[in-house]
Homo-oligomer: A and B are copies of this chain.
Amino acid sequence: MKIVLLGSGNVATQLAKALKAVGEEVVQVYSPNLNHAQFLANLIETKAVSDLNDLEQNADLYIISVKDDAIAAVARSLKNVNGLVVHTSGTTDINTLSSLVKNAGVFYPLQTFSKGKEISFVNIPLCIEAGNEDQLTVLTNLASKLSAKVYPLDGEKRKVLHLAAVFACNFPNHLYTLANEILNQNDLDFEIIRPLIAETADKVMSNLPENVQTGPAVRADENTLNKHMSMLTSMPGLQNIYQTLSDSIKLTLK
């Protein structure tokens, strides 16, 4: 399959490497910034373009992996292609594309990508959507080459998943940041708390989180809760979060 990759951010970069690794032919990488396009193109030994007019018109698949609000602008340049055009966004409707191109789909990897952090695609859930069964088969086949976890999902469910991902990924990472803030203020290093973070995530790989909740709130240990609240007096933002989340944990108690 001839693939054109539009984008050069974290998702595009990891996807490009994964596609190359399974032997797929990425014939072009596009970015409005030629340096960015060239950097990624070099990584996977292909051509870079920075002008939408230079896009290959006869590819089988176009993967648009740019910021959500830039998807439509990029898609407009693909209105004449016969290949399948997909975006990689969790929150963007398939209709954003189907109103602009002939054959539209979605190819959403449910994962958190950061430059410089290598990641294996094998365990990444790939959520796909297409306008008809044939297109879905094309995406299923490609996704199955990259990952063992392929989920055909409509746009509504994909949006729900994206929201759940904020709770399961973005918010926990921010709480790690706040924990680090507390540690640093007391000359303690983040390193000391890393094993706890790893085990907390590892526990829910084989359990449901509601069954392995620990800590003062789930024990209704008011003594410790009060001590912690008073330790946070000088950090009102953290105190508010402590109260809000502890109250929410208590609501799960029968």
Contacts and interface: CB of A to CB of B under 8 A. Distances in A.
Contacts of A160: 182-183, 186, 188, 231
Interface in A128-167: 149, 151, 156-157, 159-161, 163-167
A192 interface: yes
A23 interface: no
A29 to B, nearest CB: 22
B213 A173 contact: yes
B192 A151 contact: yes
A169 interface: yes
Number of copies: 2
Interface of A is mostly: helix
A156 B187 CA distance: 12
Interface stretch (A34-42, A77-85, A99-107, A241-249): A241-249
A223 to B, nearest CB: 7
A175 B175 contact: yes
Interface stretch (A47-55, A56-64, A214-222): A214-222
Interface in A118-132: 119, 123-125
Contacts of A125: 192-193, 195-196
Contacts of A32: none
Given A240-B244, A248-B241, A190 B208 contact: yes
A198 B202 CA distance: 7
A232 B205 CA distance: 26
Contacts of A206: 117
Interface in A166-208: 166-180, 182-183, 186-188, 190, 192-208
A157 B188 contact: yes
A172 B170 contact: no
A125 B216 CA distance: 20
29 contacts: A68-B223, A68-B224, A91-B224, A112-B203, A117-B207, A125-B193, A149-B192, A157-B186, A161-B188, A163-B182, A163-B228, A165-B196, A165-B215, A166-B216, A167-B176, A167-B178, A167-B182, A168-B175, A168-B179, A169-B197, A170-B216, A174-B248, A174-B249, A180-B209, A190-B208, A197-B204, A241-B244, A241-B245, A241-B248
Given A174-B249, A175-B175, 7 more contacts: A111-B199, A114-B214, A117-B206, A117-B207, A168-B176, A170-B214, A198-B202
